[in-house]
Chains A and B, each alone.
Chain A
Amino acid sequence: MDWQALALSVKLSFVTLLFLLPIGILLGRWLAYRQFWGKSLLQTLLALPLVLPPTVLGYYLLVAFSPNQGLGLWLVNTFGTTLIFNFQGLVFASIIFNLPFAIHPMQRAFAAIPREIREAAACCGMRPSLVLWKIELPLAWSGIISAMVICFAHTLGEFGIVLMVGGNIPAETQTIAIAIYDRVQSFDDHAAAIMSFSLLLFSMLTISFTYWLSARSERTHD
Chain B
Amino acid sequence: MTDSGIHITLQQAAPIPLSVQLDCKSGELLALVGPSGSGKTTVLRAIAGLYQAQNATILCQNEIWQNSVQNIFLAPHQRHVGLVFQNYALFPHMTVLENIQQAISQLPKQQRQTQALELLKKVHLEGLERRYPKNLSGGQQQRVAVARSLARQPKVLLLDEPFSAVDQVTRRKLYRELLVLRESLSMPMILVTHDLDESTLLADRIALLHKGEILQTGTPEFVAAHPKSATIARLMDQQNLFTALVIAHDQAKQKTHLRWRGILIEATYQEQFAINERVCWMIQSANILLHRRGRPSNGNKENPLQGQITEYMESSGLAHLRVQVDKKLDTTISINVPLHVAKRNTLGLHEKIGISLLSEGIHLMPYQVLRNES
Asked if the two chains touch in their complex, CB atoms less than 8 Å apart, one says yes
Inter-chain contact B76/A119, CB cutoff 8 Å: yes
Q: Which of A123, A134, A222 contacts B77, CB < 8 Å?
A: A123
Inter-chain contact A120/B77, CB cutoff 8 Å: no
For residue A218, CB closer than 8 A to chain B, the reply is no
Most buried by A among B75, B82, B91: B91
- A4: shortest Cβ distance to chain B, in Å? 43
Query: Which residues of B sit under 8 angstroms from A46, Cβ to Cβ?
Result: none
Most buried by B among A119, A123, A134, A221: A123
Inter-chain contact B92/A120, CB cutoff 8 Å: no
Q: Which residue of chain B has its CB nearest to the CB of A120?
A: B89
Inter-chain contact A120/B85, CB cutoff 8 Å: yes
Name A107-123 residues within 8 Å CB distance of B.
Answer: 114, 116-117, 119-123
Q: Which residue of chain A has its CB nearest to the CB of B86?
A: A116
Which of under 10, 10 to 19, 20 to 34, or 35 or more describes the interface residues of A?
A: 20 to 34
> How would residues 181 to 222 of chain A score, 1 for a CB under 8 Å from any chain B CB and 0 otherwise?
000000000000000000000000000000000000000111
Query: Which residues of B sit under 8 angstroms from A120, Cβ to Cβ?
Result: 83, 85, 89-91, 148
Q: Which of B89, B90, B93, B152 contacts A125, CB < 8 Å?
A: B152
Inter-chain contact B105/A125, CB cutoff 8 Å: yes
- B268: shortest Cβ distance to chain A, in Å? 47
Q: How far is A61 from B50 in the complex, measured between Cα atoms in Å?
A: 44
Query: Which residues of A sit under 8 angstroms from B76, Cβ to Cβ?
Result: 119, 122-123
Inter-chain contact B89/A124, CB cutoff 8 Å: no
The secondary-structure label for the interface of chain A is helix
Most buried by B among A121, A139, A221: A121
Inter-chain contact B105/A122, CB cutoff 8 Å: no
For residue B43, CB closer than 8 A to chain A, the reply is no
For residue B61, CB closer than 8 A to chain A, the reply is no
Q: Which of B82, B87, B106, B134 contacts A123, CB < 8 Å?
A: B82
Q: Which of B48, B77, B85, B89 contacts A126, CB < 8 Å?
A: B77
Q: Which residue of chain B has its CB nearest to the CB of A134?
A: B102
For residue A135, CB closer than 8 A to chain B, the reply is yes
Inter-chain contact A124/B85, CB cutoff 8 Å: no
- A35: shortest Cβ distance to chain B, in Å? 12
Q: Which residue of chain A has its CB nearest to the CB of B145?
A: A120
Q: How far is A166 from B163 in the complex, measured between Cα atoms in Å?
A: 63
Q: How far is A221 from B82 in the complex, measured between Cα atoms in Å?
A: 26
Q: How far is A122 from B82 in the complex, measured between Cα atoms in Å?
A: 10
Q: Which residue of chain A has its CB nearest to the CB of B83?
A: A123
Q: How far is A29 from B210 in the complex, measured between Cα atoms in Å?
A: 36
- A23: shortest Cβ distance to chain B, in Å? 25
Q: Which residue of chain A has its CB nearest to the CB of B93?
A: A138
For residue B332, CB closer than 8 A to chain A, the reply is no
- A197: shortest Cβ distance to chain B, in Å? 40
For residue B189, CB closer than 8 A to chain A, the reply is no
Knowing A123-B82, A124-B152 touch, does A117 contact B103 (C-beta < 8 A)?
A: no
Query: Which residues of A sit under 8 angstroms from B152, Cβ to Cβ?
Result: 123-125
Q: Which of A114, A139, A222 contacts B93, CB < 8 Å?
A: A139
Q: How far is A168 from B368 in the complex, measured between Cα atoms in Å?
A: 85
- A128: shortest Cβ distance to chain B, in Å? 8
Q: How far is A222 from B92 in the complex, measured between Cα atoms in Å?
A: 10
Query: Which residues of B sit under 8 angstroms from A220, Cβ to Cβ?
Result: 92-93
Q: How far is A117 from B148 in the complex, measured between Cα atoms in Å?
A: 13
Inter-chain contact B92/A121, CB cutoff 8 Å: no
Inter-chain contact A125/B85, CB cutoff 8 Å: no
Most buried by B among A117, A119, A124: A124
For residue B149, CB closer than 8 A to chain A, the reply is yes
Inter-chain contact A114/B89, CB cutoff 8 Å: yes
Knowing A116-B87, A119-B50, A222-B134 touch, does A124 contact B93 (C-beta < 8 A)?
A: no
Q: How far is A139 from B93 in the complex, measured between Cα atoms in Å?
A: 7
For residue B288, CB closer than 8 A to chain A, the reply is no
Q: Which residue of chain A has its CB nearest to the CB of B49?
A: A122
For residue B81, CB closer than 8 A to chain A, the reply is yes
Q: Which of A122, A123, A135 contacts B91, CB < 8 Å?
A: A135
Q: Which 3 A-B pairs have the closest CB atoms?
A: A120-B89, A116-B89, A122-B76
Chain A contact residues, CB within 8 Å of chain B? 114, 116-117, 119-128, 134-135, 138-139, 220-222
Chain B contact residues, CB within 8 Å of chain A? 48-50, 75-77, 80-83, 85, 87, 89-93, 102-103, 105-106, 134, 148-149, 151-152
- A selection of 23 A-B contacts at a CB cut-off of 8 Å is A116-B87, A117-B89, A117-B90, A117-B91, A117-B92, A119-B48, A119-B76, A119-B85, A120-B85, A122-B77, A123-B50, A123-B82, A123-B83, A124-B77, A124-B148, A124-B152, A125-B80, A125-B105, A127-B77, A135-B91, A220-B93, A221-B92, A222-B134
